[in-house]
Chain A
């Protein structure tokens, strides 16, 4: 009973003191409330982002754990690390050994082989593309395609001539321009095209070598891709979603573009710019008038009108010109001028022209440099050092659900793992021997750069030319068969493969998808033990480490938040401490009197501690309640991701923050700690006050 009375007394005294020093209590309480608000709201946000990012990473590319070589020179960074995709993470020479080692480990849903690398596809300019298609049609004897392609080539050449003529006023070298115009005039005549069928390949070579260099150059598209067991990947990464086309059939070689990459890098530049404008205007509510970026994009789009005109044959050009004349009666000139006028968008005309573009123009042009269903040539430098190109069918495009706007999630395209192995191209023993044999034939001595001049032009050297007797003709093809590699690749493309081929071969890393992700750390330990038992020199990392810099980003955000919280509470601690010391000085008489009438030192100490704890409790409750309210309000509609990078961190276009008991608990623990820590010293000082001194001071 005595204890309860004492507690009641302390409670009354602390309330009375807080009330009598209400201004100081308000200031200190506000700082405490703000700190608690920040702790609760901040940790709720961070926890939600961490969960969302975990979903983004584990369900799209990483799985819950990743396994790769323990001898790796660099760390695995699925989304790119400091080496921008050229990390050396070693390799798993035989994936089936890893499968066998893990087959008895409980809790594993799937182990998916992977390999990430960079490759390129080349995309020629419009004239070269049209000439290439015409050559293919002629060679493959597809007469139905030839007239339209001839018409398209002729139309491009006509437009090139018109452009050269328009450039007369700005060209210094009039003579060269005259020659160019004469050349182009020659290849658009009826005579040239009448004679075309008699020697189509000869005419094409003429166009290829004399005219095509005058046209715009093509481009090389660099991309990052993931080679994997595609059916297993689709089955175990539930964010994977096909956007267009179809999944690569099981046991077939094939390629799928990430839809974001396909739309941004493979799409016709006019269409891509129109899409960007549409997103900014329709989705974000921006205006062309109010945005210098959009204005620049409009100017760039208008300059790119050839990306439309070069796709049209003569009848299509005429039909589009007629339609555009109706739409833009004020524009003088032919199709180029009309298209430039059409592509000069304003806020007023954009909606109408966006519709017109997709309804009337898009069906006439190649919207993409490569189409779904095409066989594309992918080129990469192999690990053996040789350049390797493979033909592979583009089956479709895909995205990761909710992450379609994320640049990070849109970075990787997908390929079957057998094609990946071809492009990865390890140096085989056979090849090593073959190269050694070639080297042996030459027997050339290696010379390092810094010793070259002495070695090559020293005293023993002789620069005088050696006369060679008139050589006999040599047969460079004797004993050689140059068709082997081509035939091998053709056979590989035609033949399917078996699951065994996927399993018994190279992978760079493997994703482990767990039955129960919350048991990740214990599963990781079990997997490490199983790998050790099987004698495999592999290491296991969690999804956050495997993600590379992206995975570390959450740690950076956490660090910033905790530093901010630390600073706020440090300030609070100092202010509370000072306030309490001042309050102690002001209350010397009061404390002295209390001590004189029998209050023990512990009583004084407790009085101060309870006073601050009560203030902390009240402020903390207020701050936490306000933070809970804010979280609830934000969770109603979600917080929109302001940039594509944040779409990935938010796990989608919006983040729906959730409040957990742990966030409130953390807020409570911190506020109690700060309250007690800041009061302990003033309370100790107060407890040292002697009644006699206090009385004396009064007198």
Chain B
């Protein structure tokens, strides 16, 4: 009996020790999120070529090729659709906190919100733009988990008051070994799960302007949790960190591409 009690006390002690070792402090949690933002940020310009494939239940698969541009220092973003022909020239421009959409076939700009599904796909502007998780959300640590074969930090993020974000509640699973985000779940304010996203492949490229490496997900897979079965895959095929045209982030520039 004495041996059983000794065993229980030992097990409890070890568990407590393990829990204490695993629990991350708020500073450590913030550091994880800051690191996610920082490694994806480029202090200069950023251009990437991507493919977006949308699959919806009982509908045709849709495929787009697009190029997106970022000027992280000025918080500017633009995505311009290149293919198919019918979609070529359509684009979104983010200036400050404004998101505008342009359709060359009617020659009109419209103001859109952060919740806009880009051309009806499951992707949002924020999925392509610079990561601003630390700026937009407060983070708490949930625990350590396994995601497939990877040991991951499970984090919960809540939007800061006044931040215009696509989803007010987010959960992240960050690889402990590489600090790459592997999984993200987006929730509505009602805590209804809206979307699950996986980032299975990451790449890094050296940036002259940042004097450090810039990380980007080579593949992003969005799964719609409301319309089950709908999914969007984004593949980033090329990244270019050379300086962009100074006047690129203007309505006039985007319009000029389809004139």
Contact = CB atoms under 8 A, between A and B. Distances in A.
Interface of A: 122, 124, 128, 132, 201, 205, 208-210, 212-213, 217-218, 377, 379, 381, 384-391, 427, 431-432, 434-435, 438-439, 441-442, 444, 446-449, 452-454, 456-459, 461, 463-474, 476-477, 480-486, 489
Contacts of B241: 471
The 7 closest A-B pairs by CB, nearest first: A457-B148, A465-B202, A456-B200, A476-B67, A377-B106, A482-B89, A482-B88
Contacts of A441: 51, 65
A466 B203 contact: yes
Contacts of B228: 449
A583 B218 CA distance: 97
Given A456-B200, A473-B240, A385 B56 contact: yes
Interface size class of B (residues with CB under 8 A): 35 or more
A377 B239 CA distance: 35
B178 A464 contact: yes
A205 B251 contact: yes
Given A463-B175, A489-B106, 11 more contacts: A122-B110, A212-B98, A385-B56, A432-B60, A435-B62, A448-B231, A452-B221, A457-B150, A458-B148, A486-B107, A489-B105
Given A468-B205, A471-B238, A482-B258, A128 B111 contact: yes
18 contacts: A213-B97, A386-B86, A389-B103, A391-B107, A442-B53, A442-B237, A452-B198, A461-B148, A464-B177, A465-B203, A466-B203, A466-B218, A468-B239, A477-B257, A485-B88, A486-B89, A486-B105, A486-B258
B13 interface: no
B198 A387 contact: no
Contacts of A381: 120
B169 interface: no
A179 B176 CA distance: 43
B104 interface: yes
Interface in B37-67: 47, 49, 51, 53-56, 59-65, 67
Interface stretch (B1-9, B14-22, B77-85, B132-140): B77-85
Contacts of A477: 82, 257
Contact of A435 (B61, B98, B235): B61
B178 A463 contact: yes
B120 A386 contact: yes
A202 B48 CA distance: 27
Contacts of A481: 88
A463 B223 CA distance: 20
Contact of B108 (A377, A385, A444, A473): A377
> Among A379, A389, A472, A482, which residue has the most Cβ atoms of chain B within 10 A?
A482
B252 A201 contact: yes
Interface of B: 47, 49, 51, 53-56, 59-65, 67, 80, 82-89, 95-98, 100, 103-111, 119-120, 147-150, 175, 177-178, 180, 182-183, 196, 198, 200-206, 213, 215, 218-219, 221, 223, 228-229, 231, 233, 235, 237-242, 250-252, 257-259
Given A205-B250, A471-B238, A486 B182 contact: no
Contacts of B87: 386, 485
Given A377-B106, A386-B120, A449 B150 contact: no
B88 A431 contact: no
Contacts of B235: 442, 444
Given A122-B110, A427-B60, A438 B231 contact: no
Given A205-B251, A439-B53, A449-B223, A463 B119 contact: no
Nearest to A458: B148
B200 A449 contact: no
Contact of B203 (A456, A467, A476): A467
Contact of B84 (A217, A435, A471, A473): A435
Given A391-B106, A452-B223, A385 B54 contact: yes
B148 A387 contact: no
Contacts of B175: 463
A465 B216 CA distance: 9
A683 B146 CA distance: 89
A307 to B, nearest CB: 19
Contacts of B108: 377, 389
A438 B150 contact: no
Given A476-B47, A485-B104, A486-B104, A449 B196 contact: yes
Nearest to B180: A463
Contact of B104 (A209, A459, A482): A482
B44 to A, nearest CB: 13
Contacts of B180: 463, 465
Nearest to A468: B205
Nearest to A432: B60
Contacts of A442: 51, 53, 63, 235, 237
Contacts of A434: 83-85
A471 B207 CA distance: 10
Contacts of A379: 103
Contacts of A473: 240, 242
Contacts of B231: 447-449
Contact of B96 (A132, A210, A390, A453): A210
Contacts of B196: 449, 452
Contacts of B67: 476
B150 A474 contact: no
Contacts of A439: 53, 61, 63
Contacts of B60: 384-385, 427, 432, 435
A22 B110 CA distance: 82
Contact of B239 (A122, A459, A465, A471): A471
Contacts of B239: 468, 471
Nearest to B39: A465
A690 to B, nearest CB: 79
A456 to B, nearest CB: 4
Given A385-B60, A473-B240, A474-B238, A208 B200 contact: no
B98 A213 contact: yes
- Pick the most buried of B67, B100, B108, B204: most chain A CB atoms within 10 A of its CB: B108
Contacts of A205: 95, 250-251
Contact of B202 (A432, A463, A471): A463
A384 B119 CA distance: 13
Given A452-B198, A464-B178, A468-B203, A484 B149 contact: no
